[in-house]
Amino acid sequence: MVQALLPSIYPILKSSFRLSFSQIGILTLIFQVTASLLQPLIGYYTDLKPKPFSLPIGMGFTLCGLLLLSVAPTFGWLLLAAALIGIGSAVFHPESSRVARMVSNGKHGFAQSFFQVGGNTGSAIGPLLAAIIVLPHGQSGVAWFAIPAVLGIAVLLRIGFWSRTQQRNRLSEAAAESSNHLGLSRNRVLGAIAILAALIFSKYFYLASLTSYYTFYLITRFHVSVRTSQEFLFFFLAAVAAGTLVGGPVGDRYGRKYVIWVSILGVLPFTLLLPHVNLYWTATLSVLIGFVIASAFSAILVYAQELVPGRIGMISGIFFGFAFGMGGIGAAVLGRLADATSIIFVYKLCAYLPAIGLLTGFLPNLEPQKKMVVPSALDE
């Protein structure tokens, strides 16, 4: 919720600081790249030496960034605030993914989706609360969101103590997973990881056009108010949250590769139509796109964790980091493109990105492999 405030108040910051679309893109880039560069390193380190109290520490960085965002006097201070929020995300996500998997009882897709839907629900609520709280009070209204951040730190401290008591069990589980091979060559695993990275690029580059510039698109094309545009953004992000929750359990039941197929390639007809319809259908199609495309990430992440067993923190860090990095780079590139052309042209161009989902056909089928491995693991 607090991380969603940054893109939610872009119209306010753009007016107050007289920012260009390029500067808004740079602001997003700083947040996303800070998170993406640190996450794999932190994940690798915590795989070797688990740090359960990195959870409240990560939230602490986010709190500091949030408070700075509420009082930042210049664009440079805004960039520092965005960097602190990004560092908080980088510290938080690898350990949080490990905890989610640790309590999953074998339902890894459901656990990952349920964990992520908390973040997506907060992202959906963020713009709505920004319209209610920040819009009337301006930039200083962001400080009110320090209250849920402090409560989050208190909750995460308790989880940190619980996680520390599970240290021995977690190490045993990691050892068991690392011995659970899928029979794939190193090159096949690396190739599959590369395909998953391309799918992440497709998903998050497209989502960057909606998350960062959807309000501007609606204001420019349909002349709606800032408040109305934020309400539409809320509906889109709510659909993203719902899609995230569905993707994991469906992947557990029917196979993650099928979920990836549908969620990436399946939105292509909708994205191609979006730039050519009226306001009602723009809202409808954006909700459908958000729901379908959001189901991909938990399936992709758990699929990657199964490709490289025993490296939960590192894989989570790589994929969360790459996702955030693609979102940041996408925001910067698309902001520059919007300044050079128009925000409407950006949406027409991005409509073709989900076609990259065709690469899913080259992913190995892990379900038959796992059926061959699980009995031996149980026998042990």
pLDDT tens for each residue of 172-192: 555 454 444 567 888 999 999
Average confidence (pLDDT) over 73-102: 88
Distance, in Å, from the CA atom of 309 to the CA atom of 89, rounded to the nearest integer, reads 23
Residue 371: what pLDDT? 43
The pLDDT confidence band at residue 362, using thresholds 50, 70 and 90, is very high
The pLDDT confidence band at residue 369, using thresholds 50, 70 and 90, is very low
Q: Where does 5-379 sit in CATH, by number?
A: 1.20.1250.20
The pLDDT confidence band at residue 170, using thresholds 50, 70 and 90, is low
State yes or no: pLDDT of 60 exceeds 70. Answer: yes
b/e code 180-204 from CB counts within 10 Å (16+ = b): eebeeeeeeeeebbebbbbbbbbbb
Output the six-digit token pair for 348.
């027409």
Count of C-beta atoms within a 10 Å radius of residue 300:
29
Output the six-digit token pair for 185.
């060559």
- Work out the angle at residue 294's Cα, subtended by the Cα atoms of residues 147 and 302, and round it to the nearest 5 degrees: 95
* Tens-digit pLDDT profile for residues 235-257: 988 888 888 888 888 888 888 88
Which stretch of DSSP H or E encloses residue 180?
A: none
* Tens-digit pLDDT profile for residues 284-336: 999 999 999 988 888 898 898 888 887 887 888 888 778 777 777 787 788 88
The pLDDT confidence band at residue 367, using thresholds 50, 70 and 90, is low
The pLDDT confidence band at residue 18, using thresholds 50, 70 and 90, is confident
From the number of C-beta atoms within 10 Å of its C-beta (0-12, 13-18, 19+), residue 18 rates as exposed
With 0.85 as the threshold, say if the pTM is over it: no
State yes or no: pLDDT of 76 exceeds 80. Answer: yes
